[in-house]
Amino acid sequence: MRKIIFSIMLALLPLTTTPAELRYQLPEVTICGAHSGCAIAIDENGFLRDSTSHEMIFDQPFRKTVFDSYLVLKSKGLYIVERSNTTSSKNWDVLLLTYVGGAARAERAVSLSRGVAMNTPTVYWSGYECRGDALMDRQYSPFDAAKKALCGRGYQSDSLSLEKSAVIEAAKKRGLVVNIPVYGLASKKNAIYFFPGDDEPDAGALLCLQNCKPGQAAFGRYGGWVDKTLWIDGVLHNSENLGALTGSYFYIGKKEKINLAGSYLAGKLSLRESFPVEAGVTQEQTAFEGNGSSDAFVGKWYSVVSGKTYEFFMASRIY
């Protein structure tokens, strides 16, 4: 009975839930505060310290001006340090690092800056990313240490043109999309990032549309929406059979996990909600049918039971 009721509820949810136009935030990301259990923290002088020993992790502090603000987040074993700058250029940086046994290792450093096109009022964002897995030299400040460890030589900020695709067009309607070069040993030339529900960068609302995953990883965790009113979060895994996928997703704010099974072949995604059949209970009949790369998908969500069809969008999470 629960599964039949669930189909009916999904058909009604867009009329009763909080609109997706309200601010999107990644679920299960912790803000590191006094009682958050994070292993690192920024002190009042801008130094990054070990939360237990209070020892400085780097010899130099974060740059501190009246225009700069910093935030430390945690997602599982990964720490995210965000720097926002409120000057007219609106600089923004984010550093992804691990901290184990007193050692800080950098995985990604992303830097964006806002500009205005000459002779037009058009605002654009340029930047770059450095990627890898490297121990950071403690004699520098955290962001400088990360760039020295990951970027190599010859990196520079740029704003690359966006290709036309269904995924890109859907994302551009819902927030800021930036295409930037990627440097470092793990470089794949460029990455496209997406900040849903916002026109400025925000570490709490960062998704990725292209060149998202490290190494040979094909799938992973995703964020996105169904219709225009429901934010979702999910995970997809390769199965043993070629092209087969398993996974799950939930509606943010609801937390009820819904299992998924299906396939991804030749750019086409097909997923079904996979509830076990119980005696006297009708199995749920809803599906995602879409297109895209393994980084991001767009398509239709539909329910055989209710007959309702909605647009859906899913893009990769990097933390």
**How far is it, in rounded angstroms, from Cα 258 to Cα 36?**
28
* pLDDT tens digits, 192-249: 999 999 899 999 999 999 999 877 778 999 999 999 889 999 999 998 888 999 999 9
**Would you say 217 and 209 are in contact if contact means Cβ atoms under 8 Å apart?**
no
Residues of the chain with CATH 2.40.128.120: 1-26+206-319
Higher pLDDT, 274 or 191: 191
**Would you say 3 and 275 are in contact if contact means Cβ atoms under 8 Å apart?**
yes
Percent of the chain with pLDDT over 90: 71
With a cut of 90, say whether residue 168 has pLDDT above it. Answer: yes
**Predicted confidence band at 262 (pLDDT cuts at 50, 70, 90)?**
very high
Instruction: Determine the pLDDT at residue 21.
Output: 55
Only one residue has tokens 């059979």, namely 241
| Cα distances (Å, whole numbers) of residue 87 to 150, 178, 212, 228, 243 | 27, 20, 29, 33, 48
| Cα distances (Å, whole numbers) of residue 223 to 26, 77, 209, 229, 283 | 8, 19, 11, 14, 26
Please name the amino acid found at residue 112: L
**Predicted confidence band at 5 (pLDDT cuts at 50, 70, 90)?**
very low
**Would you say 169 and 88 are in contact if contact means Cβ atoms under 8 Å apart?**
no
Higher pLDDT, 86 or 193: 193
Q: Say which CATH topology domain 1-26+206-319 has.
A: Lipocalin (2.40.128)
Question: What six digits make up the tokens of 47?
Answer: 């130094």
Higher pLDDT, 19 or 146: 146
With a cut of 60, say whether residue 130 has pLDDT above it. Answer: yes
Higher pLDDT, 214 or 88: 214
Question: What six digits make up the tokens of 49?
Answer: 């310290």
* pLDDT tens digits, 289-306: 999 999 999 999 999 888
Instruction: Determine the pLDDT at residue 277.
Output: 59
Instruction: Determine the pLDDT at residue 185.
Output: 72
Locate the DSSP E strands across the chain. 30-31, 40-42, 48-50, 68-75, 78-85, 92-100, 103-116, 123-135, 175-183, 190-196, 207-210, 221-226, 230-238, 244-251, 258-265, 268-273, 286-292, 296-303, 309-316
Answer positive or negative: Cα dihedral of 18, 23, 24, 29. negative
* Range from 32-46, 109-123, 126-140, 184-198 that averages highest in pLDDT: 126-140
With a cut of 90, say whether residue 99 has pLDDT above it. Answer: yes
